[in-house]
Structure 1
Amino acid sequence: MTEPTTLPPGVERNALHDTIRTHLSHGGGVLLTGPAGIGRTTVVSRLAAALRARGHQVMHCSPSPAEQDSPFLGLIDLLTDVADDTLAALAAHERAALEEALLRSESAGPVDRRDAVVLRIAVRKVLALLATTGPVLLVVDDAQWLDGPTAEILKYLARRADSGLSVLATLRTGHDPGASSDRSVLELCSQPVRRMCVPPLTAHEVGELLERHDHPAWPRPLLARLHQASGGNPRTALELSSALDERVRLEGTGLPDSAEPLPVPESLRRPLLDRIGALPASARQTLVVAGAAVRPTVELLRRAGRRHASADLDACVRGGIIRILPASDHGTIRFLDPLTPMVLQAETAYEHLLEAHRALAEASDDAVERAHHIARLAAGPDPVVAARLSAAASAARRRGAPRTAARLGRLAAEYTPAGQAYADIERRLTAAEDGIEAGDLGFARQLAHEVLGDADRPADRVRAWNVVIDSCGQAMAEIADVFPEAVRDAAGDPELLAQLHYRMSWREWMVGGSAPGAHGHAVRAAGLAARTGDRRTELMALTQQAALELFLGLPEAETTLARALAAPHDVHAMTHHNGPVYLKYRFHLVRDELDEARAELRTLVYRLRQRGSADSLSQCLIGLAQVEIQRGRCRPALTIARQSLRIVEEAGLSQGPAWYAVSLAETAGGSLSRALTAAETARRYSEDDDDRLFLPRALHAEGRVRLFSGQSGAAVELLRRVSELETAQGQRDPATRRWHADLAEALAAVGAPDEAEAVIALARRQAERLGRPGILATLDRAAAAVAVARGQLPQAAGELVQAAARLRAIGYPLEEARARAALGRVRRRLGDEAAARAAFSAALRIFTKAEARPWAAMTRAERDRAEDGSACLPEGGSCPEAGSWSDHLTSTERSVVARVAQGATNREIAAGLVLSVKTVEAALTRAYRKLGAKSRVDITRMVMTRPLV
């Protein structure tokens, strides 16, 4: 059997893992599909290990094509660990039939119909016996090769609702002659059955995969090409990377440029060639033309001279090479394997490729497509070809395809004759700027450095330096030496200096950590740009000035933003994430105008999806995810945050902000463990980039997760760092970064009420001065935590009632529910159990409506606790997840024990943790043994007398 590829824990695969585990825990069946090499075996291995740790008995088989005709080989693998003692419980004839099938006794010949019935009953009884000690999971990896007799037994079991089995089967999709059909494999799985696909890896996950297998650290643009060529398939990515590494090392060649095809190893090329070779000659020729096209369609191929295109393509569809999108007007063609066009190009004679490009150039009615083919036909520099490529780049830019525009612009520069140096530099700079918009930062930086080696005009040199600066993303610390050279090249030109001062403002804020210093550069940039008529730079600088004034709590911020939003407008500035329209949503947020903020962002996201940079789209999605969390829409927030992460991974952009958004969304509506991983990842990216502007936000996200997990000491340490960094930068508006209440609550939880009170007092003065009711309401809740720490419970209850009412009026449902849950804990400590249950019930209704899963589970357990005051949760408002009493427990056992201490029944625990009751019972039994406890009272006493670390 092929060794499973080790995969990094990506967001989508974690979500897939959780969904499958939940479904199997409830006794359902899952069919997991995907092409060869996608990682089905790895997902199954992780799931089997996780469920085994939760008390499942996992029985596994992995059939192969050579074993398909071997009767009962799958059954032998599944039951290989079943002891003879278990078989002894069967009737004599049942045991004899089963032992014969398992080759544990001498065979008397082929199994007849009566024996087959007895055998099925025997297997069912054995599995029922095993199920008395814990849930049973049958895993059939590569079920398409399962032998027929074993498959019939599993289908028999799947039809029995009382079998008590869960079945996890995997099916390799693709062109596998002789393999079982999807329908046949589905019948193996217990009901209800879900069919799920293993998602491809993202570009970031491909990079992690290659790193784990000691492959070279390829540049981001090359990594993006490996990801695209592999289609996110782990095995394909590894083999392509190995072939590329071998060529670079053995042949001594440099890295391939964007126009040069990647080397495809024989192991990947041969299956494709075999499949293509099985096609009729006419279909092969049509496939070559389709592979040469940028956007192949049936209609385009007909116009290119392939008169029988429909019939030829039908043969390609039957051969598992392409699919034709039915919803498209002209029959858009998609290659099932992204390597197919590359292999076709490498294996087709040069003259035949030229014929294909010539035919497509004549047939295409699209300027971009036609220019692509004309370039392939040109033998060398040609002013006409260069001009057509430049025009095509402009067309691609207008239609919102900056990556295509960048590639065509570079081709235009390459075909520009040597005597047109200024045209060559202009085209390279424009292509580099398109590369920035497309997120292809390495490509843009390379072109900019080429220009700096050739250009002598100040405007060209400063424009190239701007590309270098813009291409560094969050890592501005890496280009500190660029600014003096760029200022020197500007030669005192006020228009060029305006562009540089705008970028120096960002550097001062991100690297220097000084908002006042950054504000000075922004003001100077706006003034110089206005004087020289550079409206785009003026708008961007005014936006930066307004953002800094908002952060600094200056009253002129609104006026500055109004100047940036006033006509005349600039399309680039109005759709950029550092432009005034984007900043407008942040002004809505600080004024607690959530609906208005959402409307601004949704409009901007729509425009950016049509045309705009990947960076701007990602940043807008991050903002939209935060707004949805505040509005109490946790599921959409999770989806949006993950979209943002996929975009930056595929574009090769800095991922810190996107991981931050994922952490916030997971904290609100997903999993605290995944939220912590995401927050730690965001922090690492910010520290690696030395981005002091974003680092406080990443630290705040991590501090929140630790606070909500009961790790108040760790939360205080992180949130104090946030306070130090933000205060040093000059923050004077607490609504711009809302960490103050969380820090105060963490300080109260660790017994530092005086320090907490000081944090609240300072933030309250600032919020009152600026009119920030949302901040004042959360500070009321934090003040209640201080009162609890001082033992002033009636005062705390009053402040929480006030906080909940104010948060409800303003429209922050999750914050309101947190206040009501805290009120429930205070009421319980005051001995008013009825009022406590009412407060918990109110919080639970809000959390449930918002789909805030971790909060709903915790609050449900608190509401339903049977024993008065014996297991109050930490004042941070979360269930304990770690501590001295749980050092030797698994994560499942810790969760079960924590809820036992809250008074929950086994059935309630199962519902809250999405487990079966039997799994909860098994975990609790193991926990009793490990802790030396004899009863639930002992468990409760241990949790309460050994506080969390």
Structure 2
Amino acid sequence: MTEPITLPAGGPAHPRPPAVARDALRDTVRAHLPRGGVLLTGPAGIGKTTVVAQVVADLAPRGHRVLHCSPSPAERDSAFLGLIDLLTGVGDDVLRALAAHERALLETTLLRSAQPWTTDPGGPAGGRDALVLRIAVRKVLAVLAAAGPLLLVVDDAQWLDRPTAEILRHVARRADAGLWVLVTLRTDAAGEDLGPAADRREGCAGAAELCPRPVHRLRVPPMTAHEVAELLERHDHPYWPRALTARLHQASGGNPRTALELSSALDDRVRGEGRELPDAAEPLPVPGSLRRPILARIGALPADARRTLVVAGAAVRPTVELLRRAGRQDAAADLDLCVRHGILDVLPEPGHGTIRFLDPLTPMVLRAETPYERLVAAHRALADASDDPVERAHHIARLAAGPDPAVAARLTAAASAARRRGAPGTAARLGRLAAQYTPPGQADADIARRLTAAEDAIEAADLDFARQLAHEVLGEARRPAERVRAWNVVIDSCGQAMAEIADVFPEAVHDAADDPGLLAQLHYRMSWREWMVGGSAARAHGHAVRAAHLAAGTGDRRTELMALTQQAALELFLGLPQAETTLAAALAAPHDAHAMTHHNGPLYLKHRFHLVHDELDEARAELRTLVYRLRQRGSADSLSHCLIGLAQVEIQRGRCRPALTIARQSLRIAEESALSQGPAWYAVSLAETAGGSLSQALTAAETARRHSEDDNDRLFLPRALHAEGRIRLFSGEYEQAAELLRRTAESETAQGQRDPATRRWHADLAEALAAVGAPREAGAVITLARHQAERLGRPGVLATLDRAAATVSAARGDLARSARQLEHAAVRLRAAGYPLEEARTQVTLGRVRRLLGDEAAARAAFAGALRIFTKAGARSWVSLTRAERDRVQDGSVCAPEGGSWAEHLTSTERSVVARVAQGASNREIAAGLVVSVKTVEAALTRAYRKLGAKSRVEIARMVMARPAG
């Protein structure tokens, strides 16, 4: 038989997935070290040392010797202290390789000898001794590198003493192939890389020169909000509400050390002083360790520049022109002075000059240290000067002493302006402020403003804030429309975890009473609950139809469009013929802007209809347009889901590198916005399988499955199981793959899937079943899926089923038929536009041709697959295919003598086993070898025992997986 393709696993799966950006940075460092040196840059506390520790932890168990030094400011003037640290673990046995004078000088320099300095007046730092010392160190490192890979680490190179730096630069210029160098360099407060001149000012005359050429320079990125939350949890900090964690992230600029210090200061205030958590208008406490250096920089400025800085810190979007209109006539000169003191930067924009503080803590410290009267004056001047309604409303609110209908109205208008410009988070905060400034006698306006703010918060993915506002309203509102609107916010804020709010629906339906408009909104949401939690597409379809009908009757076009889209999606899944007509109704005018840019809206669904018809370019065009619009203005949730869809399309089109980038962007958005992460991890697993590492892909798939199980999300759980099953299949873990893919089939079938193009697991399941010796079950899967695909006209699905049928033929011993089926499948997949599936089929064909003894055809098949995989950037597949091709080229694959499975067999047993693997019967083998059938049976029985095989299927699998030789 021919077994499903096995890809190299690349190491064990990580038990808990680290943050993708840090993980990617570590992988990038490891990838570039063998080709030269790596210089990591970033401000203090950003995590350079952590990345270095991760790289060392990865390489040390693989046989790399690590020499490490971490100089400090106090050691900068101590000659050779860095060299002493680096060579601390180098024993006398290595030093014996040096000439006597070289060893004596090096031991003296390393303080291992009591010998006095040589006659050179400058000691070993200068003259002839300096040259001898450089040669000696280079020889020591060469000896170590010859014994195994050697990694040299210099952490915080800006503090490295000059003599050590000179020696390391000499080594780097003449580095041998076995020497890897990793250097970290501290940059300024903004994280901007220091140039060579600045390097020299710091006493490190070019940190890059410590690395062999070429030098790959990498900036350690700030942490995301999600990573900061995980960091605080790992360090046993209190659980802060998401909005407060977001403020800690923003104030720290994503610097982990700063985030930890700010969180500790906040904990001290809340616990030690017994104070409430700060609201959005109250500044966070800044500890002295962070405040003092900022105050020192500000204190060095003249009084006028400090006043200009206070006004800039009070502004929402400070510009040079705004400060001038606010009374700071010499703003340009003052700001130029601040730039030279490293406090801020002025970005060149025509007529504006946008001001950016290099340290996000600076405005907070300014606000805390400035007298109240001066702050009020700054806000009053900015309110008068600003021509932006959002900016002006912010300052007017700062000046108001209590509830004020005029202030509330202005804040409401500013929230609308922010919403129109695509800033729902700003709109939510302004809306909440508007509610707070609403007088007590205007309860209806207060509730309406809070509900609008909650809906804006949903769009901004500030789900905790949205739920908080909704529950506030539910505690006060009595009108059905207000209560159902609040319940909708609660439902919409739960993401994939709809199982957690099962008790909400009965209360919401009770509040809706007999109002058809309110019931339409709830039936739409109940449709999602039935599909995601109840696991029934048919029942979900009934709710969607009901919602669309009720919404149409009440003129609620937005709900009608969303319900029609849901109805069309379910009809597609159920294989119903009216799906296309329903989608057309959802796409017809009049349109609704919200529905047309939502990931559950008709434009997004349109790309899925393209996919089932194998129209990949059209699907990509639809998604790219949506992504562009959502990046301009739209919800984080919709953007994340559109990126997930785009990543999958790019994989199918054979663009693995872009797919991996897009999938990681989707996950970053989900993490930063505290969205349900199961779908994004699913996309990462697909992208890693196609163009990354199988071990990382498996970790991502397992993580996607855990998230979906935690959320009780029956919609994405089968997809996560399918992703994990495919990875196990490619890794040769056939029993586990078959079990996972069986679970996928059971779940999707129970939900009502009747269109195999909507979830393409059928061919993978059949191949896994063939691999575990269940060809009959595999054939049944193929037959049912083929019937559905032929009825609906799904040529791409039929092509993959042809490949699966070929594996069943091979499992049954009919290799010639298998080869014909594979050739046919490859042609159909090329016509349908699925390059990776075509190449995967070519690899399987190469293996079958090899078993048939046609080496030329096998080489051609492997070469064709390799061309496709290389062009697509499918890294793991490229490695596999090269190995398969090389086995045929060196003639080791088809020879039945010697090595691997053959090494313990007699010549007769080897001949019999080789023919069994080619699908020959005992009688055919006997005729070919000119022996009796009994002789063949006896040889085969002995081979079973020696190889630990139980069937002809297992014999064939062993020959294919572990070729002779």
TM-score of the two chains, using structure 1 as the length reference? 0.89
Residue aligned with 2:147, SS: coil
Tell me how far apart the structure 2 counterparts of residues 631 and 945 of structure 1 sit (CA, whole Å).
30
Q: Is residue 691 of structure 2 the alignment partner of residue 669 of structure 1?
A: yes
The one-letter code sitting in structure 1 at the alignment partner of 2:785 is A
Change (3 A) 1:540 1:512: same
Contact persistence 2:142–2:176 (CA under 8 A): no
Give the structure, 1 or 2, with the largest relative contact order (CA under 8 Å, sep 6 or more): 2
User: What are the residue-to-residue correspondences of 1:348-359 with 2, within 5 Å?
Assistant: 348-359=370-381
Partner in structure 2 of residue 655 of structure 1 = 677
Deviations 1:418-474 (A, max 9, x none): 111111111111111100111011111111111111111111111111111111111
Inter-CA distance 78–179: structure 2 relative to 1 (3 Å threshold): farther
Within the candidate set 226, 232, 242, 1:210 is matched to 232
CA distance in 2 between counterparts of 1:128 and 1:329 reads 59
Aligned to 1:167: 181
Equivalent residue runs for 1:103-118 within 5 Å: 103-106=111-114, 108-109=116-117, 110-111=123-124, 112-118=126-132
Output the CA distance in 1 between the equivalents of 2:74 and 2:506: 69
Residue 69 of structure 1: aligned partner: 77
Structure 1 spans left out of the alignment, 5+ residues: 1-6, 873-879, 881-940
Give, in angstroms, the shift of residue 161 of structure 1: 5.1
The aligned amino acid for 2:102 is: E
Q: 2:67 aligns with which of 59, 66, 91?
A: 59
Q: Does residue 101 of the first structure (1) align with residue 123 of the second (2)?
A: no
Task: Report how far residue 163 of structure 1 moved.
Answer: 7.2
Pairs within 5 Å for 1:178-217: 180=202, 184-217=206-239
Letter in 1 for 2:183: A
Q: Deviations over 1:133-166 (max 9, x none)?
A: 1232211000000001001111111222557532
Q: Structure 1 residue 492 and structure 2 residue 506: aligned? A: no
Q: 1:511 aligns with which of 526, 530, 533?
A: 533
For 2:143, the aligned partner's letter is L
Q: Is 2:172 aligned against 1:158?
A: yes
Give me the whole-angstrom Cα distance separating, in 1, the residues matched to 2:858 and 2:777.
29
| Contact persistence 1:224–1:651 (CA under 8 A) | no
Which of residues 708, 714, 719 is equivalent to 1:697? 719
The 2-side partners of 1:660 and 1:206 are apart by: 23
1:327-383 Cα shifts (integer Å, max 9, x gaps): 565222222222222222222221111111111111211111111111111111111
Matched, 1:711 2:733: yes
Task: Give the corresponding residue for 2:872.
Answer: 850
How far does residue 240 in structure 1 lie from its aligned partner after superposition?
A: 2.2
Shift of 1:108: 2.7
Change (3 A) 1:789 1:220: farther
Aligned to 1:146: 160
Letter in 1 for 2:43: P
What one-letter code is carried by the residue in structure 1 that aligns with 2:87?
Answer: L
Q: Distance in 1 between matches of 2:656 and 2:522?
A: 41
1:272 deviates by 2.2
In the alignment, the residues of structure 1 paired with residue 805 and residue 700 of structure 2 have an alpha-carbon distance, to the nearest angstrom, of 29
Larger Rg: 2
Look up the match of 1:397: 419
Letter matched to residue 310 of structure 2: V
Q: Report what 1:42 is aligned to.
A: 50
Residue 4 of structure 2 corresponds to residue 20 of structure 1:
no
Alignment of 1:277-296 (within 5 A): 277-296=299-318
How far did 1:944 drift? Answer: 7.2
2:648 to 615, 626, 651: 626
Give the alignment partner of residue 757 of structure 1, picking from 748, 773, 779: 779
Contact 2:44 2:187 in 1 (8 A): yes
Where does residue 926 of structure 2 map in the other structure?
none
Distance in 2, matches of 1:93 and 1:519, equals 87
CA distance in 2, matches of 1:648, 1:182: 40
Q: CA deviation at 1:858?
A: 1.0
> Which has the higher mean CA deviation after the structures are superposed, 545-554 or 179-188?
179-188
Match of 1:310, as an amino acid? A
**Which is worse superposed, 300-309 or 649-658?**
300-309
Q: Residues 155 and 185 of structure 2 are in contact (CA less than 8 Å); yes or no, is this contact kept in structure 1?
A: yes
Q: How does 1:928-943 map to 2 (within 5 A)?
A: none
8 A contact 2:850–2:894 mirrored in 1? no
The more displaced of 83-92 and 668-677 is 83-92
Deviation at 1:709, TM superposition (A): 1.3
| CA positional deviation for 1:316 | 2.3
Contact 1:626/1:661 (<8 A) preserved: yes
Partners of 1:942 and 1:777 lie apart in 2 by: 24
Alignment of 1:769 onto 2:777: no
Q: Aligned-pair distance for 1:391? A: 0.5
Displacement after TM superposition at 1:868 (Å): 4.8
RMSD of the TM alignment (CA)? Answer: 2.2
Match of 2:824 among 802, 806, 810: 802
Structure 1, 392-401 or 261-270: larger mean CA deviation: 261-270
Amino acid at match of 1:137: L
In the alignment, is the contact (CA less than 8 A) between 2:261 and 2:287 conserved in 1? Answer: yes
For structure 2, which runs of at least 5 residues remain unmatched after alignment?
Answer: 1-15, 118-122, 901-955
Q: Is the 8 A contact 1:87 1:126 kept in 2?
A: yes
AA aligned opposite 2:156? D
CA contact (8 A) 2:66 2:151 kept: yes
- How far is 1:945 from its partner? 11
Cα offsets for 1:708-735 (capped at 9, x unmatched): 1111111111111111111111111111
CA shift, 1:530, in A, is 0.6
SS in structure 2 at match of 1:166 = strand
Supply the AA of the counterpart residue of 2:767. E
Count of residues paired in the alignment: 874
Residue 33 of structure 1, CA deviation: 0.6
Task: Supply the distance in 2 between the matched residues of 1:146 and 1:304 (Cα, whole angstroms).
Answer: 47
Selected match of 1:738 from 760, 769, 772: 760
Partner of 1:540: 562
Alpha-carbon distance in 1 for matches of 2:779, 2:279: 59
SS at match of 1:258: coil
Partners of 2:757 and 2:242 in 1: how far apart?
36
Give the C-alpha shift of residue 643 in structure 1: 1.1
Whether the 8 Å contact between 2:458 and 2:466 is mirrored in structure 1 is yes
- Helix, strand or coil at the partner of 2:41: strand
Q: Contact (CA 8 Å) 1:221, 1:652: kept in 2 or not?
A: no
1:470 aligns with 2:492: yes
* 1:124 is aligned to 2:138: yes
Q: Which residue of 2 aligns with 1:934?
A: none
Question: What is the aligned partner in structure 1 of residue 462 from structure 2?
Answer: 440
Q: Distance in 1 between matches of 2:163 and 2:268?
A: 46
Pick closer, same or farther for the CA change 1:105–1:8 going to 2, 3 Å. farther
Deviation at 1:607, TM superposition (A): 1.1
CA contact (8 A) 2:159 2:204 kept: no
Is 1:11 aligned to residue 37 of structure 2? no
| SS, match of residue 181 in structure 2 | strand
Distance 2:204 2:407 in 1: 51
Give % identity: 79
TM-score normalised by L of structure 2: 0.88
1:938 maps to what in 2? none
* 2:922 match: none
Give the distance between the partners of 1:181 and 1:445, measured in 2 at CA: 54
Taking the aligned partners of 2:271 and 2:715, their CA distance within structure 1 comes to 41
Between 42-51 and 465-474, report the one with greater CA deviation.
42-51
1:223 lines up with 2:245 in the alignment: yes
- Verify: 1:588 aligned to 2:610, yes or no: yes
Residue 411 of structure 1 is matched in structure 2 by 433
Matched-pair contact (CA < 8 Å) for 1:98–1:119: yes
Whole-angstrom distance in 1 between the partners of 2:633 and 2:676:
21
Task: Determine the structure 2 residue equivalent to 1:783.
Answer: 805
Which of 768-777 and 652-661 deviates more? 652-661
Q: CA deviation at 1:220?
A: 2.6
2:86 maps to what in 1?
Answer: 78
Q: Which residue of 1 aligns with 2:907?
A: none
Higher deviation after alignment, 304-313 or 831-840: 304-313
